Amino acid sequence: MSAEVKGPQELGSEVGGRLLCTLCGACVGMCPYRVAYRGRIVVLDECNLSEGRCYAFCPRAPVDLDQVSQVVFGVPYAADELGTLQEIVIARARDGAIRFKGQYGGTVSALMSFALREGFIDSAVLTSSDERLLPSGTVVRDEAGVLACAGSNFVASPTLATFNREAATDAQRIGVVATPCQALALAKMRVSALEDGNNIDKLKLVVGLFCTWALRYEEFVEFLGERVQLEQITRVDIPPPPANVFEVYTDFCRVPIPLDEVRRFIRPTCDFCIDLTAELADVSVGSAEGVEGWNTLIIRSGAGKELVEAAGAGGAIETAPLAKENLEHLKEAALLKKKRALRNIVDTSGNTGNLLYLKLSGEALERLLA
Amino acid sequence: MGNEAIARGALEAGVGFAAAYPGTPSSEVIGTLAEVARDGEIYAEWSVNEKVAMETAAAASFAGVRAIVAMKQNGLNVASDFLMTLNLTGTKAGLVLAACDDPSALSSTNEQDSRPFAKWADLPLLEPATFQEAKDMTRWAFELSEEIKNVCLVRTVTRVSHARGDVLLGERTPPSKGARFVSTSPVEFASIPAPLKHHLMRQKLDKAREMYESSPFNWYVGPERPELLMVTSGACWFYSLEAVKALGVEDRVGILKLGTTWPLPEKLVQEHLARTERVLVVEEVAPFLEGNLKELVGENVAALGPLTFYGKRSGHVPDSGELNPDAVIRALSSVLGVEKAGVAPEYAQKAQELTGAHTHMRAIGFCAGCPHRATFWSLKNALKLDGREGFVTGDIGCYTMALGPTGFFQLKTVQAMGSGVGLACGFGKLAQAGLEQPTVAVCGDSTFFHAAIPALINGVYNRSNFTLVILDNQATAMTGFQPHPGTGMTAMGEAVPAVDIEGLCRSLGIRVEVTDPFDLEETTQKLLDLMRDDGAVRVLISRRTCALVRAREEKAAYEVHVDTEKCLGDNCGCARLCTRVFQCPGIIWDTETGTAKIDEVICSGCGVCADICPASAIIREAA
Amino acid sequence: MKEKDPLNVIVTGVGGQGNVLISQLLGKALVKGGYHVTIGETYGASQRGGAVMSHLRVSRQEQYGPFIPEGQADVILGLEPVETMRVLAQYGNPGVIVIANSRPVYTMAVTTGLAAYPGTEEIGRTLEELSSRAWLLNATEIALEMGASILTNIIMAGALVGSQALPLRPEELEAELRESLPSDRLDLNLKAFHRGLEEARRRGAGS
């Protein structure tokens, strides 16, 4: 059963009004009514349509998880810790320069550079930030472009707005580096009957990122700006527990900020998110706990497998097995996120029959909450 | 036109000086005199506001030159501070104040009856009922004013001022050329000592009352002892006459038409009241005549006997809005219990059936190519992007329409001239009370000179936090494109240095930016920037000539058409942005092709719509 | 119809169409012809795309007020179809003569998709049902052919005079045009006026 598609008014009340918006940007870049501006989705005028792509693509508007899973993987939603996958390994870029610029092992940068170089895709939509940490989507076509976007800053970015705009040009093969909510939105685009069939077919590759939460831009940057000169920041990082610190690196020093102080700026919607590992991507990449300088790499779809194998053979990345212990930790973390989110959802809705935006079988729900 | 008749009456009385601020329905009085003034005999000016206009005219009177000043009801409010001291001071040469009311507020932000001002200020009042009277009364008003040495009010309404009719003209009298200011006593031209002057002022009024008793401007038609006496004044005279005829009750109803309505010609009025037992008072807008008649009756109850009054207080005449023959017919019919033979009900019903679906209100809005539409579009976007729930305080002019869809509902307040800036001064100091929303005030260029400058200075001096957007379309557009200090032209057609709004604002030591409203992106960005520059007053001048003025002076900049292949219309991605939201009347929806279409008759060729179309389907080509 | 006193004429249209100019020209010509004329108009805000209505009261005997009572119009000259319908509904009667322009000026409700504008056929039928004689002219199209849409009102004035619904001869209004209009635009306006007269002739003026 597919989710009913409604329009921008309902999007405002069901998602915006309930603070569920993730700022993924999927609802923006297609019309003059909605824009993403400084960490907010701004509605400039009222669109009076009763059905719209904005609603259809939104990862926090009703989503039938089986349906999206079918269209991406050909199987129903796994409803387990890590989602549909073929293999999990650890990986890193072979090129030291890429590893230096990238996060942990630089795997995402290496894969995207490789994909562009070898023609898997001819443009890539990544995320970059300005000197005041404002992130937004960027279209790149070569390694230099990829490296310029390397590294995360943990602030939500409306990157899919850029994808929407790129898909409306004559680009033919597009790759996207996506957070879990963004990967879900891209999957909804493939499902949506409203989508102009041609555009989403241009999406050839989704590299997902592990994500625990994302921050609200304006308030976080104001907070950060009181502690550090924003323009001097070179990198930020959240080391694995038990560190509990938000590391800010500038040209001159490292400023550790207690993570609890930063948590205040988490987008409320993240408490309602069941996806740690970007379950609807072709491949998903995150940190490798306890293995410094490497990434955890989850290979999910056929296209993902093809890319990883070619990248390995082509000398862009190297892989190695993931230790069983680390796999268990990852599954625990993923399940924890699911449980917490589902509990928040049920608390908000008031009954287990109403999962707000999720369509999940009762059996799966019980299993996950157990 | 009634206003032209007033102007003519003034010329026939030898007026030498005329001043006003444009205001519907008064503008044509001085507009006409300004045209005449070009032959050099008299002087006429557009003053920055009605108080100054009144003051300049008083100067002429003090110096022995007959003067006239004209204003709408709100203008009288603005001038009232001076009027309430001028009345005590007294005048020398005749000084006539033409007060032109706008019942039903067809072109005003309030509905107000100016006649009580006369009673309040102890000044004589005249109300012309016909165009001939508009001329003759104005001419005589100068004589009256000189006889009693005080201002004389001539009050009209839209349906006299702006209606036209044939008038028999008299001879023009040349104006005085012996102007001289001579003060024969220390307080001759002062309003003090007030109690003494007040007493003298009331004596002047008594003199006027005497003169009124024999005035040809009061007349009676009807039977000797009418069953019902209608007492009326002004435009209501025609309606009353027509109502009596329509109901065929000429033998039962008499009409006492008063032209001299304050002070009342008490002997004359009592004569007529004594001959009847029922009185219907028909007037616009307040029960002024009605109240004064009842006061008179109250003082003379013994002689007049019991009288039953019908009018606004009894509910027979509507208590607000302008009147018309049909309203008076209804009132009369209800008092007399007589049915009106109207249009055949079958016709009325057929008409309703055939036309009812289509005759919804025709909304007014900005003209095609109006720079205000573009400014408010940018303002709407900037406020949304800013995200702090900022709001706009408004003022009086064409841009007042931004209360509605034509200005995207951006304007949130409208009261009097300059009030938007005054309100912004207040909102801008409420941060300490917890207000976090940015305030934006808008006012037009003419409004700026009229009343906004003191408020702006107040904001700078008291360090209020707001942005002022001056909508400079180089015209006093709503009232008919009269020139003002910023346009570089006077009422008499003389080219003068234009007052530099930008320079004036900069001299206050504040941040001033200028933008072209047709550049939507630049204007939005500047607005965002200014709104975020919290702390003190800042000004953005949004400058582009009014569309109607442009149409007269230049040819269209662009030829605009819609590429129907590209137009997305009803589809997701557009949802008719141009016709449904932007709402320029030059763009219409073609139901046959399901796309937007440019109406070549209405489109002004400004090309702004090409910038908002999400599909780039609106094409503009340099004309 | 020529004997009626007062003769009540309504000129209606949308702000900017120039109906005020027409009513003034007619008024002045009629005054010169020895009639008392009163014209009541609505100015100001209504010019910004709102409805504009001029009431003309024409009488040999006396001056009348600026408002025509409901249901008492004798002649309606409509520069815009829906405005003509609006006026008919309030001031019409079975005997009224209607001369209307066919070109719509859409209301914002129509252009924003909230309402539908009646089709030409429906307009024609409505005008005919509610009058004793109704003409629907493509005056704007003719004006555009002649080079400027602003000539529409003069063409309509020509049709009105040609219909003989007013006690006004063509020469009288032509004289008024010559006197009132600026010389550089006179030729074109006279042409437009005569086109209007022609339209009336073609429809059997005076019948």
Which pLDDT tens digit goes with each residue over B162-192?
999 989 999 999 998 999 999 999 999 999 8
Sort out which chain A residues have CB atoms less than 8 A from B385's CB and list them.
Answer: 35, 37-38, 42, 44
Residues counted in chain A: 370
Q: Best of A21, A28, A49 to disrupt the B interface by mutation (most B CBs within 10 Å)?
A: A49
Q: At residue A197, does pLDDT exceed 70?
A: no
Residue A344's pLDDT band, with cuts at 50, 70 and 90, is very high
Q: Say which amino acid occupies C198.
A: E
d(CA B338, CA A71): 80
Sort out which chain A residues have CB atoms less than 8 A from B572's CB and list them.
Answer: 30-31, 49, 51-54, 194
- Interior angle at CA A76, CA A72 and CA A80, nearest 5: 105
First vs last Cα of chain C: how many Å apart? Answer: 11
For residues A148-153, average pLDDT? 86
A44 vs B381: CB contact, 8 Å cut-off? yes
Q: At residue A90, does pLDDT exceed 70?
A: yes
* Angstroms from A194 CA to nearest CA on chain B: 9
CB atoms within 10 A of CB C9: 26
Q: Which of C40, C50, C93 sits opposite B347 (nearest CB)?
A: C93
Q: Output phi, psi for A88, to 5 deg.
A: -125, 130
Q: At residue A2, does pLDDT exceed 80?
A: no
Residue B601's pLDDT band, with cuts at 50, 70 and 90, is confident
* Angstroms from B579 CA to nearest CA on chain C: 5
C42 vs B106: CB contact, 8 Å cut-off? yes
Q: What is the pTM of this model?
A: 0.91
Domain segments of chain A as ranges: 8-216+266-369, 217-263
For residues B205-213, average pLDDT? 96
Q: At residue B575, does pLDDT exceed 60?
A: yes
Q: What is the pLDDT of residue B101?
A: 97
Are A286 and A277 spatial neighbours (Cβ–Cβ below 8 Å)?
A: yes
Q: Which residues of B403-441 are buried (b: 16+ CB within 10 A; e: fewer)?
A: bbbbbbebbebbbbbbbbbbbbbbbbbeeeeeeeebbbb
d(CA C146, CA C144): 5
Q: How many contacts, defined by CB atoms under 8 Å, are there between B and C? A: 189
B350 vs C130: CB contact, 8 Å cut-off? yes
Are B30 and B20 spatial neighbours (Cβ–Cβ below 8 Å)?
A: yes
Angle between helices C81-91 and C120-129 (to 10 degrees): 20
d(CA B243, CA B240): 5
Output the 3-class SS for chain C.
Answer: CCCCCCEEEEEEEECCCCHHHHHHHHHHHHHHCCCEEEEEECCHHHHCCCEEEEEEEEECCCCCCCCCCCCCCCEEEECCHHHHHHHHHHHCCCCCEEEEECCCCCCHHHHCCCCCCCCHHHHHHHHHHCCCEEEEECHHHHHHHHCCHHHHHHHHHHHHHHCCCCCCCHHHHHHHHHHHCCHHHHHHHHHHHHHHHHHHHHCCCCC
Which residues is B165 bridged to in the sheet?
Answer: C38
Q: Say which amino acid occupies B135.
A: K
For residues A31-40, average pLDDT? 95
Q: Can you say whether the dihedral through the CA atoms of B58, B64, B70, B76 is positive or negative?
A: positive
| Residue in chain B nearest A218 by alpha carbon | B387
Structure tokens at A172: 């033919």
What is the helix (H) or strand (E) element at residue A242, kind and residue range? none
d(CA B382, CA B388): 11
Average of per-residue pLDDT values in chain B: 94
Structure tokens at C62: 């006396």
Helical residues (DSSP H) of B13-72, grouped into ranges: 27-37, 50-62
Structure tokens at B10: 């003034």
Q: Is A161 exposed, middle or buried (0-12, 13-18, 19+ CB in 10 A)?
A: buried
Residue B264, CA atoms < 13 Å, CB-side half-sphere: 24
Residue A153's pLDDT band, with cuts at 50, 70 and 90, is confident
The DSSP 8-state label assigned to residue B422 in this structure reads: H
Q: What is the pLDDT of residue C207?
A: 44
* Angstroms from A31 CA to nearest CA on chain B: 4
In percent, the amount of chain B with pLDDT more than 90 equals: 89
Supply the DSSP string of B493-541, one letter for each residue.
Answer: S-B-PPP-HHHHHHTTT-EEEEE-TT-HHHHHHHHHHHHHSTTS-EEEE
Q: What is the pLDDT of residue A369?
A: 82
Are B140 and B12 spatial neighbours (Cβ–Cβ below 8 Å)?
A: no
d(CA A42, CA A36): 6
Return the C-alpha torsion angle B365, B369, B373, B379, nearest 10.
180
Q: What is the pLDDT of residue B582?
A: 96
Show which subunits contact B, needing at least 3 CB pairs below 8 angstroms. Answer: A, C
The DSSP 8-state label assigned to residue B580 in this structure reads: I
- In order of start, what are the domains of chain B with their CATH numbers? 2-179+187-212 (3.40.50.970), 219-336 (3.40.50.920), 371-551 (3.40.50.970), 555-622 (3.30.70.20)
* Angstroms from B373 CA to nearest CA on chain A: 15
Q: At residue A3, does pLDDT exceed 70?
A: no
Q: What is the pLDDT of residue C20?
A: 87
The DSSP 8-state label assigned to residue B406 in this structure reads: G
Which residues of chain C register pLDDT less than 50?
1, 44, 207
d(CA A204, CA A115): 10
| Residue in chain B nearest C46 by alpha carbon | B364
Which residues is C56 bridged to in the sheet?
Answer: C9, C39
Structure tokens at C169: 């001869």
Are B520 and B608 spatial neighbours (Cβ–Cβ below 8 Å)?
A: yes
Q: Which of C48, C71, C105 sits opposite B365 (nearest CB)?
A: C48
Sort out which chain B residues have CB atoms less than 8 A from A53's CB and list them.
Answer: 572-573
Residues B250-289 have pLDDT tens digits of: 999 999 999 999 999 999 999 999 999 999 999 999 999 9
C185 or A188, higher pLDDT: A188
Residues B380-400 have pLDDT tens digits of: 999 999 999 999 999 999 999
Q: Which of B572, B581, B612 sits opposite A52 (nearest CB)?
A: B572
Q: Best of B164, B343, B361 to disrupt the C interface by mutation (most C CBs within 10 Å)?
A: B164
CB atoms within 10 A of CB C202: 12
Supply the DSSP string of B113-143, one letter for each residue.
Answer: --HHHHHHHT--EE---SHHHHHHHHHHHHH
B581 vs A46: CB contact, 8 Å cut-off? yes
Residue B553's pLDDT band, with cuts at 50, 70 and 90, is confident
C112 vs B580: CB contact, 8 Å cut-off? yes
Average of per-residue pLDDT values in chain A: 92
Q: Which residues of A240-274 are buried (b: 16+ CB within 10 A; e: fewer)?
A: eeeeebbebeeeeeebebeeeebeebbbebbbbbb
Q: At residue A281, does pLDDT exceed 70?
A: yes
* Angstroms from C177 CA to nearest CA on chain B: 18
Sort out which chain C residues have CB atoms less than 8 A from B348's CB and list them.
Answer: 71
Q: Which residues of B107-119 are buried (b: 16+ CB within 10 A; e: fewer)?
A: bbbebbbbbebbb
Structure tokens at A307: 């890319």
Q: At residue B118, does pLDDT exceed 70?
A: yes
A306 Cβ partners below 8 Å, 6+ apart?
none
* Angstroms from B294 CA to nearest CA on chain C: 28
Q: Is A61 exposed, middle or buried (0-12, 13-18, 19+ CB in 10 A)?
A: buried
Residues B94-113 have pLDDT tens digits of: 999 999 999 999 889 999 99
Are B407 and B376 spatial neighbours (Cβ–Cβ below 8 Å)?
A: yes
Q: Output phi, psi for B622, to 5 deg.
A: -55, 130
Show which subunits contact C, needing at least 3 CB pairs below 8 angstroms. Answer: B
| Residue in chain B nearest C119 by alpha carbon | B358
In percent, the amount of chain B with pLDDT more than 70 equals: 100
What is the helix (H) or strand (E) element at residue B267, kind and residue range? helix B266-273
Residues B225-244 have pLDDT tens digits of: 999 999 999 999 999 999 99
* Angstroms from B522 CA to nearest CA on chain C: 27
Q: What is the pLDDT of residue A104?
A: 86
The DSSP 8-state label assigned to residue B452 in this structure reads: I
Residue in A341, A319, A366 with CA at minimum distance from that of residue A107 = A319
**What number is the ipTM of this complex?**
0.91
CATH ID of A217-263, from 2.40.10, 3.10.450, 2.30.110, 3.40.50: 3.10.450
Q: Output phi, psi for B100, to 5 deg.
A: -110, 105
Q: What is the pLDDT of residue A1?
A: 38
Residue in C92, C83, C99 with CA at minimum distance from that of residue C14 = C83
Query: Any idea which residue has 């055949």 for tokens?
Result: B344
Q: Which of A31, A37, A44 sits opposite B574 (nearest CB)?
A: A31
Residue A43's pLDDT band, with cuts at 50, 70 and 90, is very high
Residues B344-377 have pLDDT tens digits of: 788 888 888 888 888 777 778 899 999 999 999 9
Q: What is the pLDDT of residue B359?
A: 78
Sort out which chain A residues have CB atoms less than 8 A from B577's CB and list them.
Answer: 32-33, 45
Residue in B240, B406, B434 with CA at minimum distance from that of residue B335 = B240
Q: Best of C48, C63, C105, C141 to disrupt the B interface by mutation (most B CBs within 10 Å)?
A: C48
Residues B63-85 have pLDDT tens digits of: 999 999 999 999 999 999 999 99
Omega prior to B263 cis, within 30 of 0: yes
Residue in A30, A25, A24 with CA at minimum distance from that of residue A47 = A30
Residues B514-542 have pLDDT tens digits of: 999 999 999 999 999 999 999 899 999 99
Q: Which residues of A189-216 are buried (b: 16+ CB within 10 A; e: fewer)?
A: bbbbebbeeebbebbbbbbbbbbebbbb
